[in-house]
Amino acid sequence: MKKDGCVACHAIDKKVIGPAYQEVAAKYKGDKDAATKLVDNVKKGGVGVWGQIPMPPNAQVSDADVKELVAWILTLKK
């Protein structure tokens, strides 16, 4: 997480530039395709889901790392 630079824009429990991971987990709660969708969005970047600030593509992060990060994020729901 730290090494991939995600923390520059995300925190677990508060909005920084991107949404708090707990909010992401809450939003996708009950969506069985969430993990697949989020892996895709994290790799390619995204905009418009949470606001007008885009997340740049995180292409330098390996597939395995992105999957692990997304799986972890989805466990954070309260």
Minimum distance of ligand HEC from residue 37's CB (angstroms): 7
Q: Does 42 bind ligand HEC (CB under 6 A)?
A: yes
DSSP conformation letters of 9-74: TB-SSSBSSSPPHHHHHHHTTT-TTHHHHHHHHHHH-B-SSSSSSPBPP-TTS-HHHHHHHHHHHH
Size of the site for ligand HEC (CB under 6 A): 27
Residue among 13, 44, 53, 71 that touches ligand HEC (CB under 6 A): 53
Q: Does 58 bind ligand HEC (CB under 6 A)?
A: yes
Q: Is 38 in the site for ligand HEC (CB under 6 A)?
A: yes
